[in-house]
Amino acid sequence: MDKIINKKRAASRRVLATGLALACLLSTLLITTVHATNIGQATITVEQILINDTVYTMPWTTFTYQLIPETIDAPMPYGSNSNGYTFTISGASNVNLGSISFSSPGIFVYTLRCTTGSASGFTIDRRVYTIEVHVTNESQVTVIVYANGDVKVPGIYFKHIYRMHPSGPTNPTNPNRPIYIPPSEPNLPSEPYTPHEPEILEVPDAPSEPTILPEPSGPNEHEPNEYETPDTPSQPSTPGDSPKTGDFSNRSFWIVSFAIASTLLALIILLNWKHRRRSNH
């Protein structure tokens, strides 16, 4: 009888040890899955440049920008919402969007543009930047920036030009550029401006051919590209699947642990009950 009891106790210990080992293994797997280590981080810096193209004092102005993810589930900076990440820059300065953490390799694409509708006296830079973040399994992160979709550039900047004071004089041939008047004091015209009467030219009776005048440049004429035309960029590979961002819970871990503990407890109670019953008989 004692040998039988000892064998049952040894079997109970083996079952208990096996259950505990299984519980430890499952908990380790779940914790590793939920708390995945970030394999890389990227930092995006945006510079704002203001140019005063007048003899007047340029006002202090704030411009708004928006970073939009083009890749599904691409990680975003803290403070983003369903519309992307919106931020502002005041004066001539730059802003760091903070570190963006990536937990899987792949190519993640973003677009960045100025969303300010208008600013008094300013010609707003409307270029659109395409940002590609390449993440490898070796934790290497490379950021590649394109201006207007195809021109590779070394950095991100927006150049807003102050061209016309709301109450200042304008040039009849180009309303977007003021006439330069030497001021008596810095940034102040000496006296109110009075435009000169245009010179009247004598028109010939029968001109041989009409003279074609060049069209004036528009208010939002695109500025020439400041960078040399780069080589044609290679076609980016298909973006990799990235995990969803946000908070994760350990609900599955606690459910599995509770189920294993309950099974082990029920098994121990059953073995003790059988042992007492046989001992009484």
The pTM (predicted TM-score) of the whole model is 0.49
Supply the mean pLDDT for the chain.
Answer: 74
**pLDDT tens per residue across span 172-211:** 455 555 544 444 444 444 445 455 455 555 555 655 565 5
Whether residue 104 is predicted with pLDDT greater than 80 in this model: the reply is yes
Higher pLDDT, 118 or 251: 118
Q: What is the pLDDT of residue 123?
A: 95
If we measure between CA atoms, which residue out of 224, 70, 235, 72 comes closest to residue 150? 235
Asked if CATH classification 2.60.40.3050 holds for the domain at 40-162, the reply, yes or no, is yes
User: What tokens were used for 17?
Assistant: 């040890």
The DSSP output letter for 223 is: P
Among 54-63, 99-108, 182-191, the least confident range: 182-191
**Pick from 35, 273, 201, 225: which is nearest to 127 by CA?**
225
266 — pLDDT class (breaks 50, 70, 90) = confident
- Res. 30 pLDDT band, cuts 50 70 90: very low
What is the structure's pLDDT at 258? 83
In sign, the C-alpha dihedral spanning 218, 224, 230, 231 is: positive
